[in-house]
Structure 1
């Protein structure tokens, strides 16, 4: 859920994995460049987890990363562009780590398992939780106005899985881009809004119960 503006009426543009956000530095290039960027993004993550985005400064990040402020300015104009790249790295990396293995099962159960596990992992991700608690306005553009780079990556992954499910007959054949976007709308709401529905006093309204409800919704959406 990081910035990459596109035309609302058209098809979102494709975003390469690790693509930079608005004004941010990309993840491509030589290994040395990636390592230097990761050090800065690691420092930014530590700062945000400690005090939130609004209270984090470029000086704080530079100090933690062991670089000068001018080094940061050459790649990122401000804290928010660093945080945008940080969110892309974290979200896409988490999504990649949760790709279900090809264990011989049909596509639909593997896809649904991966989506439910992904929602749980994102919902519990410390960086996302901190942003939701302290700086929720950072997420509003990607909920109300436009898709971000990481969302575009997920749409690509969803479409690939949907087409594979169409091919093996376990997923209802329909417009794959529309199906992918519909799935993103559902899982995104379960990541960001489901905690407002939890009730610790009722196990039937706890996280595990909502995860199972999500599984039922996805199965009904995708079944032929």
Structure 2
């Protein structure tokens, strides 16, 4: 559902909302910058002043959606249980996000950059948030010793894999069962 008609939306928000609409309407591979601009009610140069190409617009869209999911799932306390609950909630919400999943499933070349080649902005933001929660949980004694960013990196890999591969194991693990198993994996990894 688009929010681009909101009076308070910035030009960037309108462009990213239009890009999301295009992803859902046409698929990632057929998103055109001209159509994004048309749906946002701006000129192509307005888009180009903010992003160099369609791929950059899509990367910004993914970052906004992923960070939005992170912001919508605040920590419910300090400790391993709260940390794992937050990570599992984020994973469930990302798996339910049509735009994020469309990119993962229908634009493997774009997704592969952030899976195998380099960390994206949203991954760095998630890593920082998880590392901060891990540090607090370590101080509380419910997470094992270790450099928080390293532990957070492994949590990111475990969770990212669960998100990407959920459809493969769907016949064996429905969404609820997947969440239980992801929580079990993370708890086992982080337990002192």
User: Shared topology, TM-score over 0.5?
Assistant: yes
- Give yes or no for the alignment of 1:191 onto 2:163: yes
Q: Which residue of 1 aligns with 2:4?
A: none
Distance 1:136 1:41 in 2: 20
Moved over 3 A (4+): none
TM-score (norm 2): 0.91
Question: How far 1:34 moved relative to its partner?
Answer: 7.3
Report the TM-score, using the length of structure 1 for normalisation.
Answer: 0.79
Q: Which residue number in structure 2 is paired with residue 88 of structure 1?
A: 63
Structure with the larger helix share = 2
The corresponding residue for 1:42 is 17
Matched residue pairs, number? 186
Q: Match of 1:205, SS?
A: coil
Instruction: Report matched runs for 1:1-224 at 5 Å.
Output: 35-102=10-77, 106-199=78-171, 205-224=173-192
Cα offsets for 1:157-212 (capped at 9, x unmatched) = 1110111011111111112121111111100000111221110xxxx532211211
How well do the aligned residues superpose, as a CA RMSD in angstroms? 1.7
Unaligned runs of at least 5 residues, structure 1: 1-31
Distance 1:93 1:67 in 2: 24
Measure the CA separation in 1 of the matches of 2:48 and 2:134.
41
Post-superposition Cα deviations, 1:60-100, rounded to whole Å, max 9, x if no partner, equal: 01110111112112222211111111111111111111122
5+ unaligned residues in a row in structure 2: which ranges?
Answer: 1-6
